[in-house]
Amino acid sequence: MAPTDQALAAIIDHTILRPEATAADIERYCEEALSHDFKAVCVNPIHVARVVERLKSSGVLTCSVVGFPLGAAPTELKCAEASWAIANGAAEIDMVISIGDLKAGNYDAVRDEIAALKSACGPVCLKVILETSLLTDDEIVVGCRLAQDAGADFVKTSTGFAAQGAIVSHVALMRRTVGPSMGVKASGGIGTRELALQLIAAGASRIGSSNSLKLVG
């Protein structure tokens, strides 16, 4: 059975990560999230304090991205960025892995970085962005296992900045790999309710979209 609008909204991260986003844009996304009871508003770190203030006393969370969108910052900087966002009120962190390390087979480095980020986050939810469109299926499996071994809370498909975002087959592969106990977030290019429902059926437990209003009616 397809979820109701309310149930779908409850797993949507309403996302605005455009570099040209203004304060007025951020305020509008917060208003939309409050009106529809979305799970979270996901923003770049510079906007975290504004979103936290706007969403206070509501059930909508503030999510910040780290190492975004390339994942190419040193671990120490990603940890500092996460710690700063959390200190300013972020309740969830979406980090981008070192994609080059994963593709080069430097698995200990990838695992250690995710573990360091999870240590920096403490009880705050950590979602690990793999950027699946740049990976083979085997690399997606390895990335998921590394994130799981490192104690992350979610694996996530995409930043939305690569050539392709979430696709059903990748989400299904991620869910098969991590099993039922870990979150799977589908994001990137999700602009229709039909696609969102297909991704949920494939195993996504969270949806990230900048077009959330099109997903809930």
Domain ranges of the chain: 5-207
Predicted confidence (pLDDT) at residue 68 exceeds the cutoff of 90 = yes
pLDDT (0 to 100) of residue 104: 98
| Residues paired with residue 42 on neighbouring β-strands, in sequence order | 15, 63
Q: What is the mean pLDDT of residues 56-72?
A: 97
| Residues paired with residue 146 on neighbouring β-strands, in sequence order | none
Q: Look up residue 194 and give its two tokens.
A: 């039909």
| Residues paired with residue 209 on neighbouring β-strands, in sequence order | 14
Beta strands in 17-157 (DSSP E): 40-43, 61-66, 92-96, 125-129, 154-156
The answer for 98, left when phi > 0, alpha when psi is -120 to 50, beta otherwise, is beta
| Residues 199, 209: Cα–Cα separation, whole Å | 12
Q: Look up residue 164 and give its two tokens.
A: 């392709």
Q: Quick one: how far is CA 117 from the chain centroid?
A: 14
User: Is residue 198 helix, strand or coil?
Assistant: helix
Q: Look up residue 159 and give its two tokens.
A: 């930043």
pLDDT (0 to 100) of residue 66: 98
**Closest residue by Cα to residue 131 from 101, 159, 171:** 159
Amino acid at 45: P
Predicted confidence (pLDDT) at residue 33 exceeds the cutoff of 90 = yes
pLDDT (0 to 100) of residue 1: 73
Q: Look up residue 110 and give its two tokens.
A: 């990838």
In degrees, to the nearest 5, what angle opens at C-alpha 125 toward C-alphas 122 and 126? Answer: 90
Mean pLDDT of the chain: 97
- Looking at the annotation, which residues are catalytic? 94, 156, 185
Q: Could you count the other beta carbons within 10 Å of the beta carbon of residue 161?
A: 15
Beta strands in the chain (DSSP E): 12-16, 40-43, 61-66, 92-96, 125-129, 154-156, 183-187, 206-209
Predicted confidence (pLDDT) at residue 14 exceeds the cutoff of 90 = yes
| Residues 202, 98: Cα–Cα separation, whole Å | 26
Fold held by 5-207: TIM Barrel (3.20.20)
pLDDT (0 to 100) of residue 142: 99
Predicted confidence (pLDDT) at residue 8 exceeds the cutoff of 90 = yes
User: Is residue 65 helix, strand or coil?
Assistant: strand
pLDDT (0 to 100) of residue 83: 98
Predicted confidence (pLDDT) at residue 2 exceeds the cutoff of 80 = no
pLDDT confidence of 3, banded at 50, 70, 90?
Answer: confident
Q: What is the mean pLDDT of residues 8-36?
A: 98
DSSP 159: -
